[in-house]
Structure 1
Amino acid sequence: MSDTIGQLAYKPCQPDLEDPCLSTQPPGYEELTACLNANHSDLTAAERHAVVCGILSCQSSLNGDEWSRRILSGELEAEPGENPIGSHLHEQDVEMVKRLITETTTQLDDPELGFFPLLPDDDDSIEERSAALSEWCHGYLYGLSLGGLKEFKHLSEQAQEFARDIVEISGLEVASEESEANEEAFFEVVEYLRMGVLMMRDEILPSDNAPAKGEPPHRTIH
């Protein structure tokens, strides 16, 4: 890896003013995890957020309704058919993920560099956070593929190095020992990912790129 290492019990929403599901704020890690579990998702909250980040590294915006249904249903590569994708989902759950997509887009566009990977809270164990970090990297690579990035060789050397580091981090052994050294290493890697994702988006994203239409191209990363 580079020497330069540059951070949410679920229920369907009810019409209650105090229900957090009705919030206009994006879901946190535990809330998104509970929502995904309720919808029998095979990917974690970290992976789902990273998929969104990967696609948004290649496309300027996403169709929030289309992609929130894809994220929840797991039909990330499904072709539009007779039945709408994710037609069985609770609309409140769809709205939650739409808020996540909107907030992620806002963070990635933030000139003050306000983007952060969605990971477990700092109070969670280093083992849980490290596992989620590896999952996030795996999801980001998948998102780049869904976004249309066919290969890395046409990117700058810096971007290629970051892509190689992402692959390496996704396969790292999960840290289990609670220590100051592991905490420092974890936050250094998170910061490296944070800045690297912003760098990749700046390099990949054309200025005239059109919003995603909800039909991800079937491409693979080489």
Structure 2
Amino acid sequence: MADTELYQQLDDALAAVDSDTTAAEAHGVLCGMLSGPEEPDRARWIAQVLEYAHARGDAARACLELLTELFTDTTEEMADEELRFRPLLPSEEAPIGERSAALGRWCEGYLLGLPMGGLAGSERRPREIDEVLRDFGEIARIEDDPDPDEDNEAAYAELVEYVRMGALLVQEHATASQRQPAGNPPRGNGSDGG
């Protein structure tokens, strides 16, 4: 299923169960969790997304199926060495204001998902990771009603690409630090010279 099709189906399914979480925000939370060092917990993510929903009957079943599909697809995409990962956002045909608002909600969700994935506090992160996360915080407050002109379209496209690469950078850092044992880095040949 195409990302834009999945986005619309999931957004509709979340609305059908009265969730106050959008498809973009749900995907952001998931990507934040996947960017941390801990193994992602699908049930915990779904519980977070549906926390205030009224999930019952066929609408709930359809929503759970889409969330499960999104979890599987996103886990694979973020682990893909060819960098296929993309934030789940409305189609390019949607008004720029709607797409900008969705990007803001995605970043908001991402920042919420990071601690759920076990990402450590800023004292243990490289400066460039903190800069990315600060930028995501700024994007989360993006103006949701920009004028539909070429400059705004270009700026939006640049922001989406920045968010995509930023999320992959944070994930790369988290998985690298997970492999690196705590304490001092290894030394040359291990002898103490004396």
Tell me which interval the TM-score lies in, with the shorter structure as reference length.
0.7 to 0.9
Alignment partner, residue 52 of structure 1 = 30
Partner Cα separation in structure 2 for residue 74 and residue 26 of structure 1: 24
Alignment partner, residue 183 of structure 2 = none
| SS of alignment partner, residue 122 of structure 2 | coil
- The question of whether the paired residues in 2 share the 8 Å contact of 1:137 and 1:167 is answered with yes
| SS of alignment partner, residue 162 of structure 1 | helix
Identity %: 37
Partner Cα separation in structure 1 for residue 5 and residue 151 of structure 2: 30
Aligned pairs (5 A) from 1:104-115: 104-115=74-85
Alignment partner, residue 134 of structure 1 = 104
Offset of 1:115 from its aligned partner? 0.4
Q: Does 1:154 align with 2:154?
A: no
8, 16, 21: which one pairs with 1:43? 21
Structure with the larger helix share: 2
- What is the CA deviation profile of residues 4-25 of structure 1, one whole-angstrom value per residue up to 9, with x for unaligned ones? xxxxxxxxxxxxxxxxxxx8x9
| SS of alignment partner, residue 85 of structure 2 | coil
Return closer, same or farther for 1:142/1:68 CA change in 2, 3 Å cut-off.
Answer: closer
Return closer, same or farther for 1:168/1:90 CA change in 2, 3 Å cut-off.
Answer: closer
| SS of alignment partner, residue 149 of structure 1 | coil
168, 171, 192: which one pairs with 2:162? 192
Offset of 1:46 from its aligned partner? 0.6
- The question of whether the paired residues in 2 share the 8 Å contact of 1:27 and 1:97 is answered with no
| SS of alignment partner, residue 49 of structure 1 | helix
Offset of 1:147 from its aligned partner? 1.6
Alignment partner, residue 79 of structure 1 = none
Partner Cα separation in structure 2 for residue 96 and residue 133 of structure 1: 20
Q: CA RMSD in A?
A: 2.5
Offset of 1:59 from its aligned partner? 4.2
Aligned pairs (5 A) from 1:1-222: 28-59=6-37, 61-64=39-42, 66-67=43-44, 69-74=46-51, 90-205=60-175, 206-207=178-179
Offset of 1:61 from its aligned partner? 4.3
- The question of whether the paired residues in 1 share the 8 Å contact of 2:38 and 2:117 is answered with no
Greater Rg over alpha carbons, structure: 2
- Unaligned segments of structure 2, at least 5 residues: 181-194
Partner Cα separation in structure 2 for residue 145 and residue 62 of structure 1: 11
Q: TM-score, normalised by structure 2?
A: 0.80
